[in-house]
Structure 1
């Protein structure tokens, strides 16, 4: 018996003096890692992973290291709820995501009921925060703000032009198109066509023919880059010069890969180019060193993790409700996309949407450039 005890003593001492694991805080990132919108899933996951890597190198949050758990919702609401429930079971306390508004809204019920704070970098539908949940925040703006920008463009720059409005029937796409349309109507501007299309199709010749018949000079597209790119390509195939106006749902160079050369001239609304923000310099270099271009929502996702860190340190706690209370207090958080402060609903107190144009760069590739 004594021999057994002596043999077990070194093991006991090893366990006693072993360095405790530091990966104590789980942060989930949720989005379409696979499927048609995987390009945006990559933006979210890369943004979060780089932020966590940088924060861990600097000592973590309140002395605790972060661990990332990725959830693939495939842009599907039911899958989004499954991802949210898995996060609950795995002990995740903070989530960056989801990408789609139509996925974020049902998943948010799971988070609110299970004390998980979430920040979406991209879900712009007003219902995400208008529901009054304690835990809902975003680093992006809202569709009603973006829709007003579209309507102001129609009023101030497109006088006498015929405008068609088409959406993809999703919470995001229809919400954005309707926000633009409602404000256009307030300005006395009438559209020549208003239609919805189904996502996931390859042949949009029917709607393209309707746009052609309407004589539209401009097409306001409420939807994502996949369908938007196909519609532009098929408009050009029919010899149409109609210019697309779209929003933050096409902020990936895959839009040009799908739409082809005809996407040149497309107008796009988005926040001020985050890659040009001086605060983002080191992060942008880190992404590019890994061969990843931090376009679109990449830095918006990085910023979400920065906000969680700063709010937790201000609260001196990693309790999501205490962190949320600090975020709702209105204090500014310093991020790679600029200073962000929140109102009581979880929306940013200041958002500046600006215009971009898709054009060929000096390298011969088509991308988007802020006007």
Structure 2
């Protein structure tokens, strides 16, 4: 995801699951585009916001990548090569996103797994593309990224046109909302998600009574909330980031406003709970399933806690799967050349990721993206509702 201004079928090859066996130890083909930094290393780049307001999300992504690399290395590496994670701070900005991409190329990464803010990914994608280095995004959800990625860009997360539809179905369905307000922050991710939700709300018979942006980084959003309240919405869907979401929760309660407050998947970072305190209770967000709600992620959660000393964040599991997919593609093709890895990624079918089976379509998006709703109960995000396989009925996300 990202600001443009200052986020069950079995595979025939079980080698890269959490408890998977070691990879073959045969030597790899030549480095080709991107290189691998040395004959005994497989370098995977991780661009993420390691500074700024979204740093907690970036550090979470980086820690997850390192957990995946450690597991691969304990199993013998990838055809005898040690997996090395190369980090780069994109600070959730376009300028630093471009600089981070160039830094990773200079470090001779063979592929890239990461990203958070779509705005930082926008300039990075053509930089990687010119060198034929494939990029698997774990959290950058703006549809344009894969639409224009020329088949070299992939996602383990979903797309905002899918998330916007799920949000609209939930607001006009279980919430019974007829009047919907949309608030974003003018970033690539937030504006795109708001627009997608607005279109879906209208198609489902709802009325969009407000759609505008706030200024990120402020300390008081009371005037914005008061303006939203004047339109008499049943629900406000905030599509920006967690730093602002926490303040909106807190200040909404202080103002005594009664409309339901919802948010997108960039608002589920644990930091939001610290900012909002008790005002977070009852908050609802659309998101891909969280690590603690994924049965296949239990071993990862244990390993992550041991490494980071904290619970994994919302996009950790999607980063973990991205690193494992790159390793599998390299093992399958026996090459570290970018075009070979890209071709191998497209050929993977039903990879047994801890986020579910993963197959990429022609653009590089998952063929089975899943969004659910979570809500805050007793100071924690908990699975709430999800659509059943028909896409028409809402069921309990925890038990079904």
CA distance 1:160–1:245, change in 2 (3 Å) = closer
In 2, the alpha carbon distance for the partners of 1:78 and 1:285 equals 36
Structure 1 or 2, whichever has the larger Rg, is: 1
In 1, the alpha carbon distance for the partners of 2:184 and 2:100 equals 27
User: Which gives a bigger RCO, structure 1 or 2 (Cα 8 Å, sep 6+)?
Assistant: 2
Structure 1 residue runs without a partner (length 5+): 1-20, 361-365
In 2, the alpha carbon distance for the partners of 1:209 and 1:299 equals 37
Structure 2 residue runs without a partner (length 5+): 1-37, 385-400
CA deviation vs aligned residue, 1:8-47 (integer Å, no higher than 9, x gap): xxxxxxxxxxxxx775211111111111001110111011
The farther-off stretch of 94-103 and 153-162 is: 153-162
| Corresponding residue of 1:352 | 370
| Corresponding residue of 2:106 | 89
Secondary structure at the residue paired with 2:246?
helix
Aligned counterparts, 1:248-263, within 5 A: 248-263=265-280
Question: 2:252 aligned with 1:235, yes or no?
Answer: yes
Equivalent pair of 1:149/1:353 in contact (CA under 8 Å): yes
Question: 2:44 aligned with 1:27, yes or no?
Answer: yes
TM-score normalised by length of structure 1: 0.90
Question: 2:322 aligned with 1:304, yes or no?
Answer: yes
Aligned counterparts, 1:313-324, within 5 A: 313-324=331-342
| Corresponding residue of 1:4 | none
The structural deviation recorded for 1:160 is 5.2
CA distance 1:244–1:308, change in 2 (3 Å) = same
The one of 340, 345, 353 aligned to 1:335: 353
Question: 2:386 aligned with 1:369, yes or no?
Answer: no
In 1, the alpha carbon distance for the partners of 2:164 and 2:92 equals 22
| Corresponding residue of 1:18 | none
Equivalent pair of 1:162/1:218 in contact (CA under 8 Å): yes
Secondary structure at the residue paired with 2:132?
coil
Secondary structure at the residue paired with 1:346?
coil
The one of 39, 43, 49 aligned to 2:66: 49
TM-score normalised by length of structure 2: 0.83
Equivalent pair of 1:340/1:348 in contact (CA under 8 Å): yes
CA deviation vs aligned residue, 1:145-197 (integer Å, no higher than 9, x gap): 00001111133223354321111110100110110000111122112211111
The structural deviation recorded for 1:330 is 5.0
In 2, the alpha carbon distance for the partners of 1:347 and 1:266 equals 29
In 2, the alpha carbon distance for the partners of 1:94 and 1:329 equals 16
Secondary structure at the residue paired with 2:219?
coil
Question: 2:299 aligned with 1:282, yes or no?
Answer: yes
In 2, the alpha carbon distance for the partners of 1:163 and 1:23 equals 55
The structural deviation recorded for 1:320 is 2.1
In 2, the alpha carbon distance for the partners of 1:271 and 1:66 equals 27
| Corresponding residue of 1:124 | 141
In 1, the alpha carbon distance for the partners of 2:352 and 2:369 equals 15
In 2, the alpha carbon distance for the partners of 1:208 and 1:280 equals 38
Structure with the largest fraction of helix: 1
Secondary structure at the residue paired with 1:165?
strand
| Corresponding residue of 2:11 | none
CA deviation vs aligned residue, 1:330-367 (integer Å, no higher than 9, x gap): 5121222121010110000101211111111xxxxx11
The structural deviation recorded for 1:91 is 0.9
Equivalent pair of 1:328/1:343 in contact (CA under 8 Å): yes
